[in-house]
Every structure is written in C-alpha cells, then in structure tokens.
Amino acid sequence: MATIFGSSSVASSRSAARRLCATVVGLTAVAVLGTVSVVTTARPHFYPDDPLWIDNDAVADASSVKAVEDANSYDFVVNTFATPGERRDLRAMNVNTLDEVPNSAWFVNRIGRAAMSIDDVVRGPDRFKSISLDGWKVSGGKATGVQPGFRMTDREGHTYQIEFDPPANPELATGAEMIGTAFYHAFGYNTVDVYLADLDPDRLVISDKATYRDPLAGGRKRPFTRSDVDKVLRRAARRADGKYRVLVSRFADGKPLGNFRYYGTRPDDPNDIVPHEHRRELRAARVFGAWLNHDDSRGVNSLDMLIGEQNRRYIKHYMFDFGSIMGSGTVYAQRHRPGNEYILEWKPGWLTLATLGMYARPWTRISYPDVPRAVGRFEADAFEPTSWKPEYPNPAFENMRPEDAFWAARIISRFDDATVRAVVEKARYSDPRATGYITATLLRRRDKVLRAWLTPINPLVDFSLSASGELTFANAAEQAGVATPPRGYRLQWARFDNLTGIATDAGSEIAVGEPRAQAPAALTVPRANADFIQVRVAGIHPDFPSWATPVRVYFRRAGSGWELVGVTR
C-alpha cells in the first residue's frame, strides 16, 4: 500500500510545469529595498493569463485510477512512526502569482475571495432546505466509523448515510457535523450535503436488497435485517417522543476511490502532480482545524470520487466526517487530550514515567465549564492556536509556512459574529445555552487564531493602482481588529522588466502615513518598456518588527489602467 501514493513524475506540458514550477521559481527569488533587484528566470516572470484562478486538474482522463482505503491503524502507524512526504521549507506549489489558491478539484474559492451572504454560508453544500425520511428504505449497514448508523435510499434512488447521537450526549455528534460541514464548505473545500431529520423506528422499511459486511464474519456480506437495525438503535440517543434525531449525509456522486493522503500523490492519477504536503489548502487546514478543534483532521477522514464522462474522468477530493470537532468525540464528549497532544508523544510520556506520575501535562489542568450535554469539551481560555495538534502528525500541517497560515486566517476573518452564530444555529440545539456557549467559544477562538496568524508577517493586502497612479492597500490585521494601525509605511517603486526579471528602482524610498501613495509619474506614462511596475511596501509598527519585511507587488498595464498581477510575501 505504501506505493499507492508514491512520488509522481511532473508532466512536461506547459500548464503542468507552471502549476508546479512557476510559483516556486518566479516570485520566490530574493528582492530587497535596494537600488536594483535582480531576479533571473528561464521564463517570463508573468504569463499573459496570470494570475491563474483555475487550476485545470481535470484535463487528463483518470479512469484507470484504483481505489485505496487506508485503515485507521495504518494511517496512525505511518504518520506516527515514520516521516512520510517531503519535510522541507518550501513555498506552496499550487499558489498563483497573487499568492492565492486557484479553483481546482481540491478547493473552490468561496468566502475567502467573494462575499457570501449568511444564508449562503449556512446552506453550505445542501441541495434542499430540509428533508423528510417518509418513503425511504433502509438499504444497508454502515461500512466504517464508530458512530452508529445505517444507509437509506430516498424515493429517487439516492443513497444517504444515517447517523445517530450517543445516548449520554443527545445532539452532540449531529450538531458538530452540521456546523463543521457548513464551515468547511465556506472555507472552500468539497463537502457532502448534510441534513437533520426525525426518524420514527416504527415506520422504518427495510429493502429486500439491504446488505451488510459483517466484521464478525470476516467482512462477508449478508442481509441487513431488523435485528441489525435494533442493535444500532440501542446505541443511539432516543427522544421522549420515541423518535430519533439523525444526521442524513448524501453520498457524493461518482465512484468512490477511498481516501487521499496528506502527502505524496497518486501515481496512477495523471492530474495529481503537486505533492499533497505542498498544497496550500492542505497545509492551511491546520489553521481551520485549530479554530474548530477538528482533531480528527487526517487522511482517513477524506474521500476521493471519480466523476465525469466516459474517457474523461477525474478525481474530486472531499473532506468529510466532522463529528469529532468542537469537543465532540462522536460517541462521547471528547477527552481532555485531543487538540493538545498527539495520541503518542514521547517527551510528555517519559516525563510522566520519570516522575512517577508527578508531572502533570498542561492539558490535564484545563477547566471545562458545566455545559449542556450537547456540548463536548470545548473551551477558549487555555486554547493556544500555534500549539494546537491533531490526533497524530500530519505531513501537510508540518510543512505549513507563515504565508499559508496567513492565507487561512484571512478566510477565517471573513466570518463575523452574526455569521458564526447563524452557522451554530443550523445545529438546532434544543437547549439555547448550547447555542450560546458554542458561539461564544468559537468567537473567542477565532480572535486568538487571527492574532496568532495574521500578525507574524507583513499583513498588507488588497492592493490597487488607479489609472492616475494612486496606490491603495489595506492591513488585514488591522481590519480584523487584532492590531493597531502601523505608524506608517515605506515604499520603493521600480520599473519591472518581465523578460529579464530586473526591477530598476525609480527614485528613492518614500514614507507615507496612510495606506495610499502616488506612483512616480515617470512609471505611469505609457512607454514600450514600462508595461510592469513593482512596488515594495513595508509597514512600520513597534509591536511587529516583521512587518518591515516588504511585500512585493506587481502591476501590469491594462489598457489605460493597471491590473494587479503579482504579490509575494
């Protein structure tokens, strides 16, 4: 199995080479505030179609890809005792010239790039506002996972997974799934439809074709019977009216291929050329996981689906299974450790052993408030974003760089208080105290995440250059309310030669007090060799000395005006 996701060769086509190489070679060369900055490249710095907003990773037929399903034990052992993937301080390979992630089969820009209404965020991937299970049939047993459930088929023949809450914690897992799915969809990931519904056990109809792979019989397939249904229901929270609150998850379209991994590539997928540990959306998922305490962020909770027409199929990559977030352990309230320490971590283990148990791990001293049973162990007082951990090491998370974290934190900053509360309300907790507590905790954790990852690097964003040569920009940390305005900014304008990569400074460095400045007139006058302008912008702030490292910004002439074509931090 270890070879299934081995290193893939890089395709020789221009589009493939750009996806893998241009984002690494071009803008990562060193340029400082000096008289002349030289960047030598073997190709133009910017192509005519830059910045790319679509990474066409569905261009080659992937019909021959074989399914692979990692066991939980395999995923744990490989990631805990080995070092899979490439651990190198390397800029994410799938970002465009604006240092953003293009749309692909992995990720679709949503709230991070364009405004989303609260209703759109709450709706998430769902096709319908609500569903009823009337007329549905039980079509099989649940194949994987610890959460009790089974499969049902609707009147149109679509298959859904039906899952229940644990008896001791009604609404715990189903609420977490509803909230997590809405958030991850808004972040930009592919997720499946999820709904809440009422299930009446007395009205269940079992299909004659319902089957189940019995683990007690070596995984052999057998009929799924009423007795099997009753076993599931005995492990589920039942309401006073005799019905069950259930999570209804629609199966994704296409042919299932198992999970993806957070490292390597699928060598039999011709479209998968960027090692997963170097994909920004997978690296930065560490930031989203920290905010929501998605300690179950791992390969086995992902899904690859083969979709498309005959001889033109490609893989769509999903994230799913959010039942273990926000203090939910799916079948119980989460333990104290998850989010604070790996399942197996040598140093604290040896310290505990060496001191005969006198050493107390910091997370054992965290105090959790008395909350409704629908809320697990979820808090914001002791939460430290940069020290948050999933259940075991994740290669992509290990490779996360400051600019990856900044990108994710900017997305989180788009979730205002009203939007966060509306997403929590989608869980339809019966106790309003649960809604209030989870909302308040998410907001406090959000603010900590923004302080931790918006401020370590120069946070200037939203650059624009008018036809008259006025530059405007914004400060993401200031916008998010986690930093005061800088004392000012330092700018160095330059004429940029796209073919040679030479930036020739125009005049001396200037200082401004506001996030706006006028470009030298000599740069904005149309001329044959002045189609590109570079400006290096640094912030001056006593609390954040790293802001003095300039952001390099590139504009390309577009008719009578200028378009933003490049940003490098």
Window from 2-16, 253-267, 370-384 with minimum mean pLDDT: 2-16
Q: For residue range 520-548, list pLDDT tens digits in order.
A: 998 887 764 569 999 999 999 999 999 99
| 463-482 confidence digits (pLDDT tens) | 999 999 999 999 999 999 99
- Which strands sit side by side in the sheet containing 255-256, from one edge to the other? 255-256, 302-309, 312-319
Q: HEC states along 208-257? A: EEEEEEEHHHCCEEEECCHHHHHHHHHCCCCCCCCCEEEEEEECCCCEEC
Interaxial angle between packed helices 402-413 and 432-454, expressed in degrees from 0 to 180 and rounded to the nearest 10: 140
Half-sphere exposure in the Cβ direction for 219 (13 Å, CA)? 2
347 pLDDT more than 90: no
Q: Is 97 helix (H, G, I), strand (E, B) or coil?
A: coil
Percent over 70 (pLDDT), the chain: 92
End-to-end CA distance of the chain: 38
CA-based nearest residue to 551, from 453, 458, 422: 458
Buried b (16+ CB within 10 A) or exposed e, 317-354: bbbbbbbbbbbbbbbebbeebbbbbbeebeebeeeeee
Residues composing the chain: 569
Nearest to 408 by CA among 460, 464, 444, 446: 446
- The C-alpha torsion from 40 through 41 and 45 to 49, rounded to 10°, is 170
The arithmetic mean of pLDDT across residues 412-429, rounded, is 98
Render pLDDT for 266-316 as a digit per residue (tens, 0 to 9). 999 999 999 999 999 999 999 999 999 999 999 999 999 999 988 889 999
pLDDT band at 26 (very low <50, low <70, confident <90, very high): very low
Alpha helices (runs of H) in 401-482, residue ranges in sequence order: 402-413, 417-425, 432-454, 476-479
Which tokens is 74 given? Answer: 């395999």
Q: How confident is the model at residue 353 (pLDDT cuts 50, 70, 90)?
A: confident
Q: pLDDT at residue 456 above 70?
A: yes
Q: What angle do CA 487, 493, 499 make, to 5 degrees?
A: 140
Smallest CA-to-CA distance from 232 within 248, 244, 241 is with 244
Q: Is the pLDDT of residue 15 over 80?
A: no
The residue-averaged pLDDT of 393-406 equals 98
Q: Is the pLDDT of residue 455 over 90?
A: yes
**Res 42: pLDDT:** 57
Q: Closest by alpha carbon to 509, among 495, 527, 493?
A: 493
Task: Return the amino acid letter for 354.
Answer: A
Helix H or strand E segment including 282: helix 280-283
Confidence band, pLDDT 50/70/90 cuts, at residue 2: very low
Of the candidates 473, 472, 411, the residue with the CA atom closest to the CA atom of residue 446: 411
Contacts of 30 (CB under 8 A, 6+ apart): none
**Torsion (CA) 497, 92, 180, 109 in degrees, nearest 10:** 30
Amino acid at 136: W
Q: In angstroms, rounded to a whole number, what is the distance separating the alpha carbons of residues 495 and 447?
A: 39
Tell whether the model's pLDDT for residue 416 goes beyond 60.
yes
For residue 436, the one-letter residue type is G
Residue with tokens 């189609």: 531
Residue 25 has pLDDT above 90, yes or no: no
Cβ–Cβ < 8 Å for 199, 162: yes
- Position with higher pLDDT, 7 vs 192: 192
Q: What is the reported pLDDT for 346?
A: 86
Which of these, 526, 527, 525, 551, lies nearest to 538 by C-alpha position?
A: 551
Which pLDDT belongs to residue 12?
A: 32
Residue of 521, 553, 528 lying closest to 538 (CA atoms): 553
Within the chain, what is the greatest distance between any pair of CA atoms? 82
Residue 18: per-residue pLDDT: 57
Return the pLDDT at 354: 87
Mean pLDDT of the chain: 91
3-state secondary structure of 518: strand
More confident residue, 356 or 291: 291
User: Residue 28 has what pLDDT?
Assistant: 38
CA 268 distance to own-chain centroid:
25
